[in-house]
């Protein structure tokens, strides 16, 4: 294996290994090490890029190249495991250095607090019920037909790639959004209809500062005669300013969703960088501006999608799109809670840190 292509692959692998070790040595805690793991060993990490070089080699050399990469990955994983043990041991040693005065009176008992995501769900529900909407709940296990087909997402539609799903069997899926309750509610009730649907949704997303594989949404739907986009915008701006205050910065961006037309994304300014797209990081060498991880450098956090209900969706539930129109939206409750409480990492909601919910009450 001495071809130019193999030499280049080995050089790339050596460079990757050096950068990996440098990143590991600079990681001071478990979260930083997990960021290193995602950057180098994750599905879209640096190792994946090196693997792509195998395709440039002659077929007889590809198995050997794959073996070299796999051995290197095993070594990197071993170094990562050792580094994780190191930082955990250091954290334990630091905690043991704290002294405790056992004669000092203990703190008063905590009575608990509502989790911030549930608080957002409650407040959103109150806003819409004040405007005459009904709150409905539905199953988290959905049929493929309700989750996709009835929402104008047939099996060959490219939008399914963005809704990577947990299938329980070919016709059953953990719902990827709360939108199937639009279908169930409209089939059960004729127009006019005005509902909101809070609940859990599931997607096979890699966990990072902005994504979880299980998250919470609130879906809204209003259908009747003469409903237009202005009604949608007024309700959503009102909801967000009810949550964040009358001066909250909200924007609508043209977008595409199979089940609405026209469609728009709804954003609020990022709490981590105050809309600048960059944050200041300080270390022993000074400070530097880096791209904000929470918003990806855009300065805005996507709260959800919205738009006018697509005529195909209305037809699928037996409504006449020539007689009635409607709007729908779906918002991530964690995204709203992040903006509301200036939380810059969505993983904080599931890490069970003591006092987390109480501190945000």
CB-based contact 289:282 (threshold 8 Å): no
Task: Give me the phi and psi of 42, to 5 degrees please.
Answer: -70, 175
* Domain boundary assignment for the chain: 4-96, 116-360
The CATH code of the domain at 116-360 is 3.30.930.10
Q: Is residue 18 exposed (0-12), middle (13-18) or buried (19+ Cβ within 10 Å)?
A: exposed
Residue with tokens 């047939």: 154
CB-based contact 262:308 (threshold 8 Å): yes
Q: Is residue 277 exposed (0-12), middle (13-18) or buried (19+ Cβ within 10 Å)?
A: middle
Per-residue pLDDT of the chain (361 residues; tens, 9 = 90+): 445 666 777 777 788 888 888 888 888 888 888 888 888 887 777 777 777 777 777 777 777 777 777 888 888 888 888 888 888 888 877 777 666 667 778 777 766 678 889 999 999 999 999 999 999 999 999 999 999 889 888 887 776 666 678 889 988 999 999 999 999 999 999 999 999 999 999 988 888 888 888 999 999 999 999 999 999 999 999 998 898 888 778 899 999 999 999 999 998 887 678 788 898 877 667 678 888 877 778 888 888 899 999 999 999 999 999 999 999 999 989 988 888 887 878 888 888 777 777 667 6
Q: Is residue 280 exposed (0-12), middle (13-18) or buried (19+ Cβ within 10 Å)?
A: exposed
Q: Which residues are CB-neighbours of 23 under 8 A, at least 6 positions away?
A: 36, 39, 40
Query: What pLDDT sits at residue 1?
Result: 42
Token pair of 349 as six digits: 């909601």
Strand (E) or helix (H) holding 127: helix 116-130
């Amino acid at each position: 294996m001495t071809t130019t292509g193999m030499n280049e692959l080995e050089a790339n692998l050596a460079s990757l290994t050096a950068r990996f070790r440098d990143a590991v040595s600079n990681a001071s805690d478990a979260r930083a090490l997990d960021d290193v793991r995602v950057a180098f060993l994750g599905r879209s990490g640096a190792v994946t890029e090196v693997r792509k070089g195998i395709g440039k080699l002659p077929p007889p050399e590809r198995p050997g190249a794959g073996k070299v990469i796999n051995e290197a990955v095993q070594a990197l994983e071993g170094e990562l495991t050792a580094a994780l043990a190191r930082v955990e041991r250091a954290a334990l040693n630091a905690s043991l250095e704290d002294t405790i005065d056992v004669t000092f009176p203990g703190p008063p008992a905590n009575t608990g607090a509502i989790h911030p995501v549930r608080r957002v769900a409650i407040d959103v529900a109150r806003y819409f019920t004040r405007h005459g909407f009904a709150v409905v709940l539905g199953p988290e296990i959905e049929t493929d037909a309700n989750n996709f087909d009835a929402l104008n997402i047939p099996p060959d539609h490219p939008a399914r790639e963005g809704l990577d799903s947990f299938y329980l069997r070919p016709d059953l899926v953990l719902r990827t959004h709360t939108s199937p309750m639009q279908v169930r509610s409209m089939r059960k009730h004729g127009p006019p209809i005005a509902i909101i649907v809070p609940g859990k949704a599931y997607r096979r997303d890699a966990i990072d500062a902005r994504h979880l594989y299980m998250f919470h949404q609130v879906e809204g739907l209003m259908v009747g005669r003469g409903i237009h986009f202005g009604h949608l915008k007024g309700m959503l701006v009102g909801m967000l300013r009810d949550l964040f205050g009358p001066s909250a910065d909200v924007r609508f961006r043209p977008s595409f969703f199979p089940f609405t037309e026209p469609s728009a994304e709804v954003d609020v300014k990022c709490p981590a960088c105050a809309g600048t797209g960059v944050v200041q990081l300080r270390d022993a060498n000074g400070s530097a501006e880096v791209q904000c991880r929470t918003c990806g450098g855009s300065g805005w956090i996507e709260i959800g999608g919205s738009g006018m209900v697509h005529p195909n969706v209305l037809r699928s539930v037996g409504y006449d799109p020539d007689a009635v129109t409607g709007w729908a939206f779906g918002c991530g409750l964690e995204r709203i809670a992040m903006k509301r409480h200036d939380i810059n990492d969505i993983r904080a909601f599931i890490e069970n840190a003591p006092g987390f919910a109480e501190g945000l009450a």
